[in-house]
Structure 1
């Protein structure tokens, strides 16, 4: 068996990247991502791309700083299906956590569908702890192009990024 090593970089996602991000979702989803890039320009969110040496995104994900005071909320995380289980999601989450900490925030939050135990296992392995379940909903594009409301139960998870303890004067 031959190992393949991918050289990856993490950078901000750009509008020009969206044509290469079909792996992340439907046309409707990518239209929403484009709107989030407008929010990124205003500093409300960060939207990251994990890219190959050819500068093509193979994973993307956002960090929203608005919903939870003191935290960055990870959302819309996606890794190209052919490259899942190769550590790319871990790299994306690590870069997102660095962005959150760089803003002086001490916590990362995310929601994961209960029907996605593989993703939940990744988040737990990375130190995220579930603290409640919520019903979530969003518009989704069907294969025929129609739009439907999608509802699912999600585990809300969080991770403490920095210690709140102060060094002793000891």
Structure 2
């Protein structure tokens, strides 16, 4: 029987604006339906309404993605659509992404960040609270989502709303 070796690998990550060239790499953790909407979202980013960020390995491969909406809540940047590759969750990539988003929000002269956590995602809420976000309410939310068979349906949920003074 062979010996099992374990260890820790430290890797520098960068956060940058997402580009069209990133879309093939994002296909591993977003549905085709979502990716088809991304060119229009990148056009919105060019108009300054939203920023789409990716967290990348030293080779430039995106391993996390998120957005900041600038026109949703006056005086705040709203962090949304956070996702990290499944096999790389719980190693700090989400924290890197949120902190980079907060820096962008401060750079815009805003002093508050807002984020929502689906009530059926306690791990996300725990991360946000660990980073200093405080719940202040909840609201229903819905969006179109593609099922595994390709059917698009309306997904409905309830989100806890959290905010953080920057």
Could you state the TM-score of these two structures normalised by the residue count of structure 1? 0.92
1:2-41 pair list within 5 angstroms: 2-41=7-46
In structure 2, the partner of 1:108 is: 113
Using the alignment, how far apart are the partners of 2:78 and 2:89 within structure 1?
22
In structure 1, the partner of 2:76 is: 71
In structure 1, the partner of 2:3 is: none
1:134-145 pair list within 5 angstroms: 134-145=139-150
Cα deviation code 1:43-73 (max 9, x no counterpart)? 1111101000110100000000011011000
User: Residue 132 of structure 2: SS of its match in structure 1?
Assistant: coil
Report how many residues are paired: 161
What are the ranges of 5 or more consecutive residues in structure 2 without an aligned counterpart? 1-5
User: Residue 53 of structure 1: SS of its match in structure 2?
Assistant: coil
1:120-159 pair list within 5 angstroms: 120-159=125-164
What are the ranges of 5 or more consecutive residues in structure 1 without an aligned counterpart? 162-170
In structure 2, the partner of 1:83 is: 88
